[in-house]
Structure 1
Amino acid sequence: MHSSLFRTALVLGLLSAIGPFSIDMYLPALPAIAGDLGVTETQVQLTITLYFLAFGVSQFLWGPMADAYGRKLPLVLGIGLFAIGSVGCALAPTLGWLVAARFVQGIGGAAVGVVPRAIIRDRYTGIEATRLMALVMLVIAVSPMLAPLAGSVVLAFGGWRVIFGVLVGVAAMSLLITLFALPETLARKDRVPVNLRSMGAGCRVLLSDPVFMGLTFVGAFGFGSFFVFIATASFVYTEHYGLTPTGFSIAFAVNALGFFAASQIAAPMGQRFGIVPVMRLALIGFAAAAFVLLAATWAGWGTLPVLMAGLFVANAFLGLVMPATFVMALEEHGDIAGLASSLGGTLQMVTGGLLVTALGPFFDGTPLPMVTAIALCAALALGIGLAVLRRMPAPALAGE
């Protein structure tokens, strides 16, 4: 493997991990936060929902800024905001304060969500870009496997506020990486000034592109299933199945492992068999696994091993889909990659946040509402995916 590709993947992966790390690390603490602040489980889930919404909507700011001022400046500003939000979370005396600070965190974290995808598009396309995206996801995979465990350790010895103190340190490390290890990939001659006319024109192009929109919403409902799991899993695993925070962290890591392990073979399979056939098969597998799990849960067979196995298989199929959706959605829009990345990210994160909000009234601490929502996401991703894949151009069909 080319050393520059690996180095780029490592740097971008470490930066991109800020967003999921800020969620995964404090998941074991959600019941403790609810108890400490005297609020319900549904209310404390607002700290996740508002983070998702802020993360999603503010990508629409960072993407155009990255097209106008280069890739590094938005990263520096975003990481700074993330650090400020983390300090606010650590000091939060009430749920309202915590939700507001998480909102600020989400605004800052969005920069490291959208800009790395534009950087990938600056330097690579096609199979190489898919391979790089998969490598970035491999680095990000450390987050769902280690962050909850780290959070449970911190929770045991220092309380939930210390978790956000650790995130301040993560932000500081990320700032150093951005300043000293990340080159600027957008030349001055290629920068697009920020103005409403250019943004409007770019959005019209993107919103009228059925391939871009279709792939974006395949990713939206794919990630939406993950968001539902993130928002509800700590309560389901600790209260319904009786796991400790550490036990929940291990179970969460196992469920996430399928996604990230499969993402590493997405590029080789796409190169050998064609990206579109692989995506089609993976979407069918994702939906099939989700509905088998739903049927088992409805039938009363939803034991912890069954739930973990079903989620592992479903997420493994999803891991074959997500890297390609990111890359293929931007493939024809290299001249507005920042705007395309931000619009796609906004639509995906807002969709995820709305799904979590819609689930709230139905959540009862059992796995059935969670599994039902995941199956719904899988069905929507499959339906949209099968429609859009028929419109893919010949190079994608050939796996080039």
Structure 2
Amino acid sequence: MSAVDDAAPPAALMPGDLMSRRQRLRLILVLGSLIAVGPLTIDMYLPALPSIVDDFGTTSAAVQLTLTGTLIGLALGQLLIGPLSDAVGRRTPLIAGTALHIVASVSCALAPNITVLGALRVVQGLGAAAAAVIAMAVVRDLFSGAAFAQLLSRLLLVMGAAPILAPTLGSELLRWTQWRGVFAALAVFGVLLLLIAMLGLPETLPPLRRQRGGVLPTVRLYGALLRDRAFVGLVLVAGLAMAALFAYVGGSSFVLQERYGLDEQQFGLAFGAGAVGLIAATQGNVRLLRRWSPQRILVTALIVGSAASVLLLGLAATGIGGLPALLASLWVVLAAAGLALPNAPALALTRHGEAAGTASALLGAVQFGIGAVAAPLVGVLGTGAVAMALVIAGGMVSALLVLVVVVRPGQLAVPEPVEAMAVAAH
């Protein structure tokens, strides 16, 4: 991939337009590696959660707080790294964040107790946030229009595949090592990622295009975003849908392994099968947008998801249908979330195209922040199927209520085509 000139590109020609097919493929591989670090950091240790409970002699709720710590780190990291990368360029925050992720991963593998592990997971999340933010920023630096949407659709496949592979990789690692080995593997991946970033990704934000406004203008911009009722409502909708997703992520290992007796490898397969529905929905969303508006898709997805989540709660409480019925209703909820998660952010971001980077950072922070509350809430309620289903249903039903009462989708004006942004926002 050729280096980017210091001068800003002409309006009609972006730097990525000058790349050959081989250079674009190389870029996809580099950015795909960056995109994968977040899901791997979140999900790879999920099969080991019961083992961590036994090893430290603690509670499942305390162990689920380590997942919360990662989500908090990801949320804070996006708020900090997004504006920072606009000011100093992409490479420095990326390299520093990746190095932080490596150190935190090694430290997690050596953690002496659950408190230290939880704190280190916050740091690990901060480091992982750098890769996710910079990858999306690089795409914005290099591409626009159809090329922008096309590249993001490729990266979306990576974003969908990584959560599927992560628990499966974790469960396979647990055949040969204990839970600490999972964090050692994340450290090794971080080292590879650091080498990829240093050797394969040049600076894509020239000095002339960097922001030098300082802290106060950034704070004022965040304030302006928070005063937009529809924007805030859409961000909450995305966050509540994410809460339902992370309730599943945080509770499924205990429910499927302890209540239904799946081993670590079977859990990895079941978790991956659920994520297939999520991926299929996000990929199908691009086709649906050719026929229906994002508002209509979002409303329909949340109605279906809310109904399926209430059914899930009933099945969990009564035991009717056993594990197959529980998984089937879960997969419908995940598919509905797969449609809601791209469209709610896309509608939000189209309202503030002049501040897309800051709006995207705020959106990501809220999504991971609300998800950080959902994961331990399952543990507080008991880690059983009913507790997981209750939090999932609460997230989906609340998202539908916020959409209807706060956002009012029938009154929502969309100033520009959103198909590309719906692909980008997930």
TM-score, length basis structure 2: 0.86
Pair 1:214–1:290, CA change in 2 (3 A): same
The range that moved more, 20-29 or 340-349, is 340-349
In 1, distance between residues paired with 2:302 and 2:28?
26
Q: Name structure 1 gaps, 5 residues minimum.
A: none
In 1, distance between residues paired with 2:27 and 2:329?
33
* Aligned counterparts, 1:300-379, within 5 A: 300-301=319-320, 303-363=322-382, 365-379=383-397
Instruction: List per-residue Cα deviations over 1:357-400 (Å, max 9, x = no partner).
Output: 3333212x421110111011111222223452334334458868
Instruction: List per-residue Cα deviations over 1:307-333 (Å, max 9, x = no partner).
Output: 211111111122122223333433343
Pair 1:399–1:68, CA change in 2 (3 A): closer
Q: Would the aligned equivalents of 2:44 and 2:167 in 1 still touch at CA under 8 Å?
A: yes
Structure 2 counterpart of 1:380:
398
Structure 2 counterpart of 1:248:
267
Q: Would the aligned equivalents of 2:250 and 2:378 in 1 still touch at CA under 8 Å?
A: no
1:275 counterpart letter in structure 2: P
In 2, distance between residues paired with 1:399 and 1:228?
28
Root mean square deviation of aligned Cα:
2.5
The alignment status of 1:139 with 2:158, answered yes or no, reads yes
The alignment status of 1:117 with 2:136, answered yes or no, reads yes
In 1, distance between residues paired with 2:180 and 2:284?
38
In 2, distance between residues paired with 1:273 and 1:129?
21
What is the CA distance between 1:306 and its match in structure 2? 1.1
Structure 2 counterpart of 1:191:
210
2:120 counterpart letter in structure 1: A
Instruction: List per-residue Cα deviations over 1:184-218 (Å, max 9, x = no partner).
Output: 44333232126221112211221122333222212
In 2, distance between residues paired with 1:325 and 1:11?
27
The range that moved more, 334-343 or 390-399, is 390-399
1:190 counterpart letter in structure 2: R
Q: Would the aligned equivalents of 1:59 and 1:346 in 2 still touch at CA under 8 Å?
A: yes
Q: Would the aligned equivalents of 1:234 and 1:248 in 2 still touch at CA under 8 Å?
A: yes
* Aligned counterparts, 1:89-128, within 5 A: 89-122=108-141
What is the CA distance between 1:77 and its match in structure 2? 1.4
2:355 counterpart letter in structure 1: I
Q: Would the aligned equivalents of 1:122 and 1:334 in 2 still touch at CA under 8 Å?
A: no
Q: Would the aligned equivalents of 1:65 and 1:194 in 2 still touch at CA under 8 Å?
A: no
2:273 counterpart letter in structure 1: V
Pair 1:292–1:63, CA change in 2 (3 A): same
Pair 1:226–1:31, CA change in 2 (3 A): same
Among all aligned residue pairs of Structure 1 and Structure 2, give the percentage whose two residues are the same amino acid.
37
Instruction: List per-residue Cα deviations over 1:209-251 (Å, max 9, x = no partner).
Output: 2333222212111111111111111111110000000011111
SS in 2 for 1:271: coil
In 2, distance between residues paired with 1:371 and 1:221?
14
Q: Would the aligned equivalents of 1:114 and 1:338 in 2 still touch at CA under 8 Å?
A: no
Pair 1:93–1:199, CA change in 2 (3 A): same
The alignment status of 1:232 with 2:251, answered yes or no, reads yes
Q: Name structure 2 gaps, 5 residues minimum.
A: 1-19, 421-426
2:235 aligned to which of 216, 219, 232: 216
1:189 counterpart letter in structure 2: L
SS in 1 for 2:290: helix
* Aligned counterparts, 1:62-81, within 5 A: 62-81=81-100
TM-score, length basis structure 1: 0.91
Q: Would the aligned equivalents of 2:250 and 2:376 in 1 still touch at CA under 8 Å?
A: no
Structure 1 counterpart of 2:168:
149
SS in 2 for 1:215: helix
In 2, distance between residues paired with 1:219 and 1:85?
29
